[in-house]
Structure 1
């Protein structure tokens, strides 16, 4: 057996009211001038003003230029504001897009070049030198789990291709995971982000990579999400359901350091070509891909089905996921959501080039991706 290294270093304050501890934490650590990074939609909602009311005497600047899938230009604009404010730390407040930008704003502000040059697969990838500005994260959705991840997914502005900046240095120093921050999410966002969290746990568990620690987390994360998602959508202020989904989201993100699979390769392509929300894309693809994957890992499918209480067992997991997404309001097919048959070739090209399918439990070809997209139309 080869040698393997594991790490779960992120400090987490979890529970209702955790957001109220941020100011005291920053002051205790000597910080006075945070840059708060969020998205345009959140900046206009009461939830942001309510959070800012707990920041006391801190001199806060707000960068709210994140919109849609995070882009390199958004990061660079945030870095310019960081420097203009003479900020000494970063607060990430939002969903996956805002947190992905917040993770690397400090990197862009303290290092030369464009942020894309720090992506691991850039042809002339730059190294991250030294420590980055202090960064804390507050998730307002329960989906990507970006708050506990050591990577930031940033799209190129011209090609829309997603690039991954991966380093333990972009990890939050501490996460304040407050499920009350998700109360105001519309049902369709709760549904899409929740399906994203469930997909992370399922694909991580099915990955053939060796990481028993992640396997345990992924299986339990899938169980928690399966029991909580419908209730979180139907009862937006149900604290237990919201807490469960926030925990399942973080567990999925921790687990997928083990890697993901072909569902995510499809979702990344749909984001790049069709600008489809990542969680929605996963929800629309997972049953098609998993039905094809079943023969490669029938025992793992049975274990997932047991955790998620799927009556038909592993063979029924894909159909159960399709029914679940419909129960939470995600209906129709790719075509329903604006994807056209003429886009399939481009989608297949991008999915085939994506690294996630390298750890799919069943080896994929480009032709398989064509069939996945056709099957989900």
Structure 2
């Protein structure tokens, strides 16, 4: 047998009210001047003001410059804000975009050069070799699970291609996962981010890479999300459903250190070319890709069907996915969301170059991606 290496991430404080522990925790570390990194919309909402009310005794500044699919320039602007505030720590507060920026603001603030020089596949990648600011994360959506991830996905400013800074050093020291922070999310955001979480768990489980620890987490994450997502969308104030989705989101992100698949390669392309929300892009592609994957992983589809309580086994898993999407309000083909046929060549090019499909259960060529995108149009 070959020797495999495993590692699991960070300390998590999970449950309603966890956000109220942040101030005491930072003070216990001798920290006084946090920079909150969040997105433009959240910066103006009561949820951030309410969180700040629990940070008594700290000199708090807010960088609310994250929007859309986060870019390298947003990271550099956040680093400038960190320096201007003379901050000693970073609080990431928001969805996946804000947390991805927050993870590497400290890198850009303490290391030379542009953050793009620290992406893993840069030809002259710079090492993260200096101490980083203390970083804690508070997710306000249940989708990416970025709060427990050791990677930051940011887009190039001009091309919008997604690039990845990957290092265990950028992990949050503590995650304060408080489902109360998601109660105000509108149904369409809950649906799209929830499908992101579900996709992470499903694709991780289907990946042929060897990681039984992640397989167990991915299956349980799938079960939890399948049972809770519809309730979270239709009953926004249901705290149990919100808690379950936040847990499923984190489980998906922990599981996908095993790897993902072709759904994510398609979604990354749709984000780069058409600026589609990542969770929505996954939701629009998942049933088309899963239908194509079925013959290559029938036994695993049977397991997924079992944990999702799908009658009739794995062959009915994709119809169940389509019905779930319809019930939570995700409808229409790619064309209904601004994707045009003239986008296809560039979509295929980016998806083919994306790493995620390398661990798809069925090998994917450029011609296959063309058929998948056309099938979802």
TM-score by length of 1: 0.99
- Name structure 1 gaps, 5 residues minimum: none
Q: Is 1:84 the counterpart of 2:70 in the alignment? A: no
Measured in 2, the distance between the counterparts of 1:368 and 1:26 equals 50
Q: Is 1:110 the counterpart of 2:71 in the alignment? A: no
Measured in 2, the distance between the counterparts of 1:87 and 1:72 equals 20
Q: Indicate the residue corresponding to 1:70 in structure 2.
A: 70
Deviations 1:174-232 (A, max 9, x none): 00000000000010000000000000000000001110000000000000000000000
Measured in 2, the distance between the counterparts of 1:195 and 1:131 equals 36
Q: Counterpart of 2:205 in 1: which secondary structure?
A: helix
Q: Which of structure 1's runs of 4+ aligned residues deviate more than 4 A?
A: none
Measured in 2, the distance between the counterparts of 1:117 and 1:304 equals 40
Superposition pairs of residues 12-27 of structure 1, within 5 angstroms: 12-27=12-27
> Post-superposition shift, 1:312?
2.6
Q: Indicate the residue corresponding to 1:264 in structure 2.
A: 264
Q: Indicate the residue corresponding to 2:120 in structure 1.
A: 120
> Post-superposition shift, 1:124?
1.4
Deviations 1:107-129 (A, max 9, x none): 00000010011000112111110
Q: Is 1:7 the counterpart of 2:17 in the alignment? A: no
Deviations 1:22-54 (A, max 9, x none): 000000110000000000000111000000000
> Post-superposition shift, 1:310?
1.1
Q: Indicate the residue corresponding to 2:362 in structure 1.
A: 362
Measured in 1, the distance between the counterparts of 2:161 and 2:322 equals 28
Deviations 1:272-322 (A, max 9, x none): 000000000000000000001011110000000101111131111112111
Measured in 2, the distance between the counterparts of 1:256 and 1:9 equals 12
Q: Counterpart of 1:205 in 2: which secondary structure?
A: helix
Q: Counterpart of 1:136 in 2: which secondary structure?
A: strand
Measured in 2, the distance between the counterparts of 1:168 and 1:195 equals 26
Q: Indicate the residue corresponding to 1:345 in structure 2.
A: 345
Superposition pairs of residues 10-49 of structure 1, within 5 angstroms: 10-49=10-49
Q: Is 1:154 the counterpart of 2:154 in the alignment? A: yes
Superposition pairs of residues 225-244 of structure 1, within 5 angstroms: 225-244=225-244
Measured in 2, the distance between the counterparts of 1:328 and 1:318 equals 16
Q: Which moved more, 1:321-330 or 1:219-228?
A: 321-330
> Post-superposition shift, 1:85?
0.7
> Post-superposition shift, 1:99?
0.1
TM-score by length of 2: 0.99
- Name structure 2 gaps, 5 residues minimum: none
Measured in 1, the distance between the counterparts of 2:162 and 2:8 equals 25
CA contact 2:9–2:254 (8 Å) conserved in 1: no
Q: Counterpart of 1:257 in 2: which secondary structure?
A: coil
Q: Counterpart of 1:258 in 2: which secondary structure?
A: coil
Q: Indicate the residue corresponding to 2:254 in structure 1.
A: 254
> Post-superposition shift, 1:147?
0.1
Measured in 1, the distance between the counterparts of 2:132 and 2:366 equals 39
Q: How many residues align?
A: 377
